[in-house]
Chain A
Amino acid sequence: MSEKPLTERIESEGGLVTMDAYEGSGGYDVARRVVTSMSSEEVQSIVRDSNLRGRGGAGFPTGVKWGFVPMGDAAGDGHKYLVCNGDEMEPGAFKDRYLIEHDPHLLVEGMIIGAYAIQADRGYIFLRGEFHEGARLLNGAIADAKSKGYLGDNIFGSGVRLELAVHRSGGRYICGEETALLNALEGKRAQPRSKPPFPPASGAWGRPTIVNNVETLCNVPSIIGNGAQWFHGLGRGEDAGTKLFGVSGRVNNPGLWELPMGTTIREIIEEHAGGMQEGYRLRGILPGGASTDFLVEEHLDLPMDYGTIEAAGSRMGTGTMIIMDDTICPVDMSRNLQHFFAQESCGFCTPCRDGLPWLEQLLTDIEEGRGEDGDLELLDRNCELIGGAGKTFCLHAYGAIEPMASALKYFREDFETHIRDGRCPYNHRG
């Protein structure tokens, strides 16, 4: 059985996996078996036992989430929805694009099985508006699946109904937040909702809805096909399965690799990404994208799994790492990060809408030599005011504070030097 369920077909095809290639290697067999001979409860049970955790960044156990959806008569009248979060926009993340552009049928099959598990009759792939190729490929895959009877009124001849459609996003980072995504799907401004209710109780158009990441759903066919124990066997540490890990920054070989959960940060950076380029030294790592806390050299031997990285004060998040090298000014990089978070705030909650631009302004002042005594204490205090739990409807601002507070922790001396000397000592390219 496979060790690389997410990428094996892509590797053997050397590129895009067509419908013929997908079916030729057993694709859609699992969905057929699920829909014609298994119960929804059985499917949920296997996924729960597999300990598959959400691959979008939060790591919530997928089977447990599915279990929150009311089933049968308890769901009331109307549609139930499975929504794939294909709005990959976390700076540093590029793994969902890879899956969509190379193996769209894997996502379609994953959605068929996921929808069956929660008795959803409607599915949407909420896709980055910028993914033009992805939209073309997914619409093509959906049309192909429909023409073969794998989608529509009577899928696999079972009497079960499932329609899938692609929604192309109008473009805002906050659309990646589950409830903001649902508002955007409904054609509105992508503002997160106050929770509860959570989507399984009241989601798209008030109906029971599950939102799952692309990579999460792509794991589902092989988990049902090979079993929960097989999935556990793929992981090296506490977490099950494989993960698409990525590295960007001044490394020799930036890219993406499917590796066991629990692979160490060092192995990913040094073996797979080829280590730092000549003339650059590693200074900091954002292990899961922009909204994760910095780690530093002392953390290189940590395994990439959810619990270990959390215990180290960060988050595995998307598993795509951004490397800060020693030519990068931590103050200016923080400014770039807060510019992003400030701009992408939906504007609803005061600590986020007003606090993040304030952070950006303070960082710009410090970077450009206008820092004053007390500015660092002000940044510290703002981190508490903006990022504290429960102060906002969503975790956007909390995510912004992760790299900010950790930069102040690990690179405080750089901030102090800027203020003391009234200038940035780094040589900025351009």
Chain B
Amino acid sequence: MSEATDNLIETLSQQEIAEIEAEITHLPDRESAAIDALRVVQEHRGWVSDESLHAIAKLLGMSPGALDSIATFYNLIFRQPVGRHVIMMCDSVSCYVMGCDGLCAALKKKLGVKLGGTTPDDRFTLLPIVCLAACDRAPVMMIDNDLVTNVTVDGLDEILGRYQ
């Protein structure tokens, strides 16, 4: 590989590269780890920038365009910066029956953001998400990796307070 290529891959940390290579060991070829690699980098940096995308593409031996077409397909891969904490509010039918529309309206008002927006202090990004598979405990949301169930408008302050 050329020096330019090596430099690009070096924008990824040793840890990130090691984690991506570990995923590749379960697969028949490097390109098959595209989604895993995107997830690894996002776990370290919060989102996948253009620079990261190019580095991952080089590491896996694929075109950045092809990798971006994969990255932009998936709900959980963020190609824009996010705040310190990502709130994903379920808006599917069981949460709808249990009042998620009102909950979402309250949350938007409280944070002062629209869906997809980040608070000015960079604390929260608010995103809609589809069914989180906890429908008996609706309404449901996730904050970062945490599942938060039986959410009420009155309970929002306490829930948000856990995430600085």
Give 1 or 0 for each of A74-97: 1 = CB within 8 Å of chain B CB.
000001000000001111111011
Closest to B77 in A: A170
* Docked CA distance A168–B77 (Å): 12
| Inter-subunit contact B94/A249 (CB<8 Å) | yes
| Inter-subunit contact B39/A170 (CB<8 Å) | yes
Closest to A186 in B: B32
A195 contacts the other chain (CB 8 A): no
| Inter-subunit contact A187/B93 (CB<8 Å) | no
A328 contacts the other chain (CB 8 A): yes
| Inter-subunit contact A248/B92 (CB<8 Å) | no
Query: Provided the pairs A205-B28, A248-B94 are in contact, do residues A320 and B73 lie with their beta carbons within 8 angstroms?
Result: no
Closest to A190 in B: B73
* Docked CA distance A165–B105 (Å): 40
CB under 8 Å from chain A, chain B span 29-85:
31-36, 38-39, 69-70, 73-77
* Docked CA distance A185–B25 (Å): 14
Given the complex, which residues of B lie within 8 Å of A429, measured CB to CB? 99, 101-102
CB under 8 Å from chain A, chain B span 95-141:
96-99, 101-106, 129-138
| Inter-subunit contact A91/B74 (CB<8 Å) | no
Given the complex, which residues of A lie within 8 Å of B106, measured CB to CB? 430
Give 1 or 0 for each of B125-164: 1 = CB within 8 Å of chain A CB.
0000111111111100010010100000000000000000
Q: How many A-B residue pairs have CB under 8 A?
A: 151
A167 contacts the other chain (CB 8 A): yes
Query: B88, B91, B92, B145 — which one has the most chain A CB atoms within 10 A of its CB?
Result: B92
* Docked CA distance A186–B134 (Å): 28
| Inter-subunit contact A129/B136 (CB<8 Å) | no
Closest to A343 in B: B130
| Inter-subunit contact B135/A254 (CB<8 Å) | yes
| Cross-chain contact of A94 among B88, B129, B134 (Cβ < 8 A) | B134
* Docked CA distance A71–B13 (Å): 44
Segment of A150-158, A332-340, A389-397 in the binding face? A332-340
A247 contacts the other chain (CB 8 A): yes
| Cross-chain contact of A248 among B32, B99, B135 (Cβ < 8 A) | B135
Query: Provided the pairs A171-B75, A184-B35 are in contact, do residues A246 and B135 lie with their beta carbons within 8 angstroms?
Result: yes
| Inter-subunit contact A97/B70 (CB<8 Å) | no
| Inter-subunit contact A250/B133 (CB<8 Å) | no
Minimum CB–CB distance from B84 to chain A (whole Å) comes to 18
| Inter-subunit contact A132/B145 (CB<8 Å) | yes
Minimum CB–CB distance from B85 to chain A (whole Å) comes to 15
Given the complex, which residues of B lie within 8 Å of A187, measured CB to CB? 27, 31-36, 70
Closest to B30 in A: A187
| Inter-subunit contact B93/A92 (CB<8 Å) | yes
Given the complex, which residues of A lie within 8 Å of B92, measured CB to CB? 91-92, 290, 336, 340
| Inter-subunit contact B75/A170 (CB<8 Å) | yes
Query: Provided the pairs A187-B70, A325-B97, A430-B105 are in contact, do residues A170 and B38 lie with their beta carbons within 8 angstroms?
Result: yes
* Docked CA distance A90–B32 (Å): 26
A32 contacts the other chain (CB 8 A): no
The 6 residue pairs across chains A and B that have the minimum distance between CB atoms: A430-B102, A170-B74, A171-B75, A171-B76, A187-B34, A248-B135
Known interface pairs A130-B76, A188-B34, A430-B106; 10 further A-B residue pairs with C-beta atoms within 8 A, sorted by A's residue number = A79-B28, A89-B130, A92-B93, A94-B135, A170-B39, A171-B77, A187-B27, A249-B94, A322-B135, A429-B99
Can you sample 17 A-B contacts with CB below 8 Å? Answer: A91-B135, A92-B92, A92-B94, A94-B135, A124-B26, A129-B74, A133-B147, A167-B35, A170-B35, A170-B70, A170-B75, A170-B76, A172-B75, A190-B74, A256-B136, A322-B97, A340-B130
Q: Which residues of A contact B (CB under 8 A)?
A: 79, 88-94, 96-97, 124, 128-133, 163, 165, 167-173, 184-190, 205, 246-250, 254-256, 286, 290, 320, 322-325, 328, 333, 336-337, 339-340, 343-344, 346, 428-430
